[in-house]
């Protein structure tokens, strides 16, 4: 049945930053689609606690910038659910400000969270996938990888997401012949804790909305729908791609 290709029955997924925002929506939808989901983040939110009350989801705490975290959260997933078929590298932070004042500590925080951590977590997750010659990695990138945002200035964030997109393409090339697909999702402006300050700022809100042809922000659930497609057998011939979901932001 073709529609079954959109389900994840029998699959085990690890979702970083699955405790809130886009990651939580992805974790919830994956459980609904039949997957077992290991949810990770630094803080166990009430939403994540509720999701993990279901036998199909479990929680492991971890700061992705800690070099020990990637191997530990992958091991926790294998221990709990007996495998790892899907990794969603979603955890991320944003920071904006003038390039000439962006100090090393802020640069390191962005780079360590948004690029180094996904690299390390994918490196840890791909080992069990290689044993099975099967797996899917989805990296959450951003339209910021492709454009200069306005009105906020955020060179470091944009460069970190560009690195994620390129990591995606090159990993896809390296592992395509070994049954492992690697794709990225590039959201536009989506309602979450990350954007709530900008959405509440009338001047920023106006620019973001006017630059989005659909005239509205995306919802985390709309990103989760795209993530499900990219992680399900339905996208079996898709690898090395960046799926943009931005209400048309990057059309102009
Ligand atoms: P949120 O701020 O709502 O969520 C960020 C998530 O990342 C949280 O779950 C957070 O966990 C986790 N996280 C951050 N730092 C760490 C860390 N050091 N260790 C472990 N977990 C961490 O943002 P979104 O849901 O909007 O963002 C999710 C992804 O989508 C990010 O990669 C972001 O860059 C990307 N994105 C978002 C867009 C948007 O408009 N919202 C647009 C384009 C891309 P904790 O609660 O423990 O801190």
Whether ligand 1 lies within 6 angstroms of the CB of 93 is answered as yes
Q: Which atom of ligand 1 is nearest to the CA of 194?
A: 2
Q: What is the pLDDT along the chain (252 residues), one digit of tens a residue?
A: 699 999 999 999 999 999 999 999 999 999 999 999 999 999 999 999 999 998 999 999 999 999 999 999 999 999 999 999 999 999 999 999 999 999 999 999 999 999 999 999 999 999 999 999 999 999 999 999 999 999 999 999 999 999 999 999 999 999 999 999 999 999 999 999 999 999 999 999 999 999 999 999 999 999 999 999 999 999 999 999 999 999 999 999
Catalytic residues: 157
Domains, the chain: 2-242 (3.40.50.720)
Q: Report pLDDT digits (tens) over 143-185.
A: 999 999 999 999 999 999 999 999 999 999 999 999 999 999 9
Residue 236 makes CB contacts below 8 A (sequence gap 6+) with: 5, 181
CA of 111 to the centre of ligand 1 (A): 14
62: buried, middle or exposed (CB in 10 Å: 19+, 13-18, 0-12)? buried
């Amino acid at each position: 049945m073709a529609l079954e290709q959109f389900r994840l029955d029998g699959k085990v997924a690890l979702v970083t930053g699955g405790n809130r925002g886009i990651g939580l929506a992805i974790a919830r939808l994956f459980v609904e689609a039949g997957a077992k989901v290991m949810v990770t983040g630094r803080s166990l939110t009430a939403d994540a606690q509720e999701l993990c009350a279901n036998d199909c989801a479990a929680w492991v705490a971890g700061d992705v910038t800690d070099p020990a975290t990637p191997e530990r959260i992958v091991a926790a997933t294998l221990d709990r659910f007996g495998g790892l078929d899907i990794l969603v590298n979603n955890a991320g932070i944003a920071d904006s400000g003038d390039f000439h004042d962006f100090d090393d500590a802020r640069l390191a925080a962005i780079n360590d969270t948004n690029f180094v951590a996904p690299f390390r977590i994918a490196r840890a997750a791909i080992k069990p996938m290689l044993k099975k010659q099967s797996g899917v990695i989805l990296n959450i990138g951003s339209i910021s990888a492709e454009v200069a945002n306005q009105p906020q200035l955020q060179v470091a964030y944009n460069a970190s997401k560009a690195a994620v997109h390129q990591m995606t393409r090159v990993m896809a090339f390296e592992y395509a012949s070994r049954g492992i697909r690697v794709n990225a999702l590039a959201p536009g402006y989506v309602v979450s804790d990350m954007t709530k300050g900008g959405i509440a700022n009338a001047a920023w809100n106006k620019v973001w909305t006017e630059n989005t042809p659909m005239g509205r922000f995306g919802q985390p659930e709309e990103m989760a729908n795209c993530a499900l497609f990219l992680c399900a057998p339905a996208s079996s011939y898709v690898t090395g791609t960046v799926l943009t979901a931005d209400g048309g932001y990057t059309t102009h």
